[in-house]
Structure 1
Amino acid sequence: MSRADDRFEIQDVLFRYARAVDRLDHDAIAACYFDDAIDVHGAYTGDASGLVEDIRGRHRTIDSSQHFISNVLVEFTGENSADVESYCLCFLRQAPAEPGGEQDLAIIRCRYVDRFERRDGSWGIADRVVVFDESRVVRMTDALDPTWVASQRDGSDPVFTWGHRTPVQAQA
């Protein structure tokens, strides 16, 4: 396996983490970490299973979440270890108090400073600290046309269902 392959696998873990948080796929969040990893994530510091519970609580009122990962820099520190810095831009929208009402949208700029390791042939997060650059909240009203396909924060999102239909479902 080449270092380019290793970089791709590390980047894939970062992207899978973003999707898992945005779709509230708790098992997939945990799968990005090794069991003994420590995550320093704002008010939470602890292992991956605790992080999942923290996200479960913090995201219970968030009806839309998007994490954009960019500027991924990988510095290999050994055959099976790497220090990784990546930028993250998060959009977290609180559910409205009343249908169609105003919502708070948190826009957070941060960086993930990670130690990745390869164990049993797979790369994963061994330790993470989230470094926050900015957090701001704006009031907004969602103007999305209700006839458009909207994202879902669970297994019913099209990323999990589109193209996985049987021919009978596709014709319906």
Structure 2
Amino acid sequence: MSTEPKAEWTEWREAKDEYLKRNPHSPIPQDQRDRFDGLDYYPYDADYRFVLALDRFSDPETVTIDTTTEGTQEYLRWGAFTADIAGESATVHAFKPASDPDADHLWVPLRDATSGDTTYGAGRYLDLDADHRTSDDRWVVDLNYLYSPFCAYNDAYECPLTPVSNWLEVPVEAGERYED
């Protein structure tokens, strides 16, 4: 991870907007790309960037998660992160695809008090990979990188819904949001 978190985040946003506007695999429908001028985000806030230990579960449970297209996907509930968000202790579970438990990648979906108001109603996602691990085996969990899944832009995509265990009562005013 960069020593300049806000600058790295800005580069990530620009690359994502470029992908969504120009890449042939973008979820933005082709007839809407000319009008697409980028996603909206909350301003970067260092208070939403944490370095946390993962409370790794000794026997990860396989969970079936519903999707936006009435399907299901299987994941392993791999562990939990706990942080102080907006003055309250909040815990979210981290998952791995059941088909690839050896991957050094964690998926952290969450819904919060902004969901359905200023952010996508079904929740947002955070992806963590090896670049997010520190030398002391903790994780950089930067909620400024929360993003809406592709199904937020195009109904043709199937996205897993946020499990109830990751519904937070606090607002997470970080990451992608809907324009005001």
Q: Report the TM-score, using the length of structure 1 for normalisation.
A: 0.26
Is the helix fraction higher in 1 or 2? 1
Q: Report the TM-score, using the length of structure 2 for normalisation.
A: 0.26
Larger relative contact order (C-alpha < 8 A, sep ≥ 6)? 2
Is the strand fraction higher in 1 or 2? 1
